[in-house]
Amino acid sequence: MNSPLPVRIISSAARAMADAATWWAANRSKSPDAFESDLENALKLIGLHPGIGARATNENCKVFAASI
């Protein structure tokens, strides 16, 4: 199997992910790590199959490479 490609995430999405992870950890005590685990798995799938989904078209987006 190939290594996943880096996934670029715009800064507003990164903030939303961080906010969701914080909320989840505070409000889902029986499974506080589930959101981060599911997000990590989703980013790996996107990195392994980069042709799935719609590509961002706004070239002015500020992005960073998510480490997965």
pLDDT tens digits, residue range 21-33? 999 999 999 999 9
Domain that holds residue 35: 16-66
Give φ, ψ of 66 to 5 degrees: -75, 135
pLDDT score, position 68: 45
Alpha carbon distance 19, 33 (integer Å): 14
Domains held by the chain: number: 1
Whether 5 is covered by a domain: the verdict is: no
Are residues 35 and 24 in contact, defined by beta-carbon separation less than 8 angstroms?
yes
pLDDT score, position 62: 59
* The pTM of the whole model exceeds 0.95: no
Whether 31 is covered by a domain: the verdict is: yes
Whether 4 is covered by a domain: the verdict is: no
Q: Is the pLDDT of residue 63 over 60?
A: no
